[in-house]
Every structure is written in C-alpha cells, then in structure tokens.
Chain A
Amino acid sequence: MSDKPLTEKIPRYCKGTGMMAPTDSPIVHIACRGISPFIFLIGLYVFFHGHYSPGGGFQGGVLMAATILLLRLSLGTGLSQVVMPASITLRLSAVGVLIFAGTGVITMIFGGDFLDYHFLPLPWLDPAYLRYYGILLIEVGVVLTVMTTLIAIYDDLLGY
C-alpha cells in the first residue's frame, strides 16, 4: 500500500465526525460483506423457528442487528448507509412498537383483553392458528424494534 499518513487515508465522508475510519483491506471488506447475509439468514431462521426451538424475537433481532453492525464496523458508517440508513432506524423502531401495541389494541376493540389473540378479526382461521399467527405478529414488532434500536444506539454513540 502507499505510505501516506493515516489521517489522509480516512475518506472524506467521515472527516470531522466521530466515526471509525474504515479499513483499506479488501480481505476484510469482502469477508464481512460475504458473511453478513448468512448471519441475517440465521437471524430469520431463529425468529421464525422460535415457536419450536430456542430463539424468538429478541435473539433473532440481535442477530440481524449484528449483521448491520458488522457492515458498519468493516465498511464504515458512510458506505453501509446503503444497507440501513441511519435516518430510518428510529422510525422503524417506532413502527415495531406500533405493531406490538396495535395488535393488543385491536383485540381490545374486538371485545377481548389486551393481547387476547382469540379476538383477532381473522374469522377464516381456527382458534389455535389465530393464537399462532397472533404471537407471530407480536414477534415481528419485537424483531423490528430490537434490530433498529441496537443500530440506532451504535449510530448515536458515533454522533449520527
């Protein structure tokens, strides 16, 4: 590589901000970019298979957040904005809370208690499958909120 001083190697988009300087090594870039979709796939498996095996919303959400944090660490905050922009993380987290609370409020509106899945307005489903899909709906909100909040904490630590 060139023998420039380290401060000139920092790209333009991260000068003056508190972010980490991304590395120049193509090995690190390609390894992290190659392995991150598979970790995301494992996160999806942990989330959807959480009914039958250890796992669930929180673990799957943290695994999905780990893929984005891996890209943030290896490529730098600027380049990894393509995957998950720092401006929409907190909004997606609010959407997740809305999905969770909205499911509970819908069951309250249709005559049950808070989060009583039996009263979900899906009349073509059996009661057992109604609870199955109700829990899945709750977990979608949990996954969205956990994933985006962890990324938002990382971005906020670096001043984005």
Chain B
Amino acid sequence: MHWLIEFILFFILVVTALTALNVRNLLAAVVAMNVFSFMAAIIMVSLGAVDVAFVEAVAGAGVIGVYSVVAIRLTSRKSQD
C-alpha cells in the first residue's frame, strides 16, 4: 500500500513539472512549481529525510512563490516565446 501512495505522489510531481514547463500563463506556472515543491517535500518525508523536506516545504513552496509573483508583476504576465 505504501508504494501506491508514493506512485501517486511521483505522478503528481511529473505532471506538475510538465505543466509548469508548458503553460503559457506564468502565474499558473508559479503555482504548478509550488505544487511540485510540496510534492517533492512529501516524497522526502516518505523517504525519511525530514530535515530536507522541511527546507523544501518552507523555502521552495513558500518564499520562492512570493518572489516569483513579484517578478511576474514587475515584468510580464504571459510567456513571450
């Protein structure tokens, strides 16, 4: 049963990474990256690395999202390429 939960987490991880790469709206890409970081943190918890997961959840899913939103507000909402 444990492998099923980890498989679902890895599936969400890959899907959010591909979403963040392909979506045109940069704000949606930031949210997808935050979900990616949170899923990575949960996978690290399930692997036993609680300290690394703490850093990933706090910095990757919290503060980096704020900085990215500010950077989007200073530049452009849509992807140019």
Asked if A114 is at the interface (CB within 8 A of a chain B CB), the reply is: no
User: Within A11-63, which residues are at the interface with B (CB < 8 Å)?
Assistant: 18, 20, 46, 54-56, 58-59, 62-63
The smallest C-beta distance from B41 to any residue of chain A, in angstroms, reads 12
User: Within B28-81, which residues are at the interface with A (CB < 8 Å)?
Assistant: 50-51, 53-55, 58-59, 62-63, 66-67, 70-71, 73-74
The smallest C-beta distance from B67 to any residue of chain A, in angstroms, reads 7
With A58-B55, A59-B55, A66-B58 in contact, is A20–B73 under 8 Å at CB?
Answer: yes
CB distance B73 to A69 under 8 Å? Answer: no
CB distance B58 to A69 under 8 Å? Answer: no
Determine the interface band of chain A, counting residues with CB < 8 A from chain B: 10 to 19
Which residues from chain B contact A55 at a C-beta distance below 8 Å? 51, 54
> Looking at chain B's contact residues, is the secondary structure mostly helix, strand, loop, or mixed?
helix
With a 10 A CB-CB cut-off, give which of B58, B63, B74 has the most chain A CB atoms: B58
CB distance B62 to A157 under 8 Å? Answer: no
Q: Report how far A137 CA is from B71 CA in the complex, Å.
A: 35
* Beta-carbon nearest neighbor of B59 in chain A: A62
Which residues from chain B contact A54 at a C-beta distance below 8 Å? 50-51, 53-54
* Beta-carbon nearest neighbor of A60 in chain B: B58
With A154-B70, A158-B70 in contact, is A59–B54 under 8 Å at CB?
Answer: yes
CB distance A73 to B66 under 8 Å? Answer: yes
Which of A18, A59, A73, A157 is close to B58, meaning CB atoms less than 8 Å apart? A59
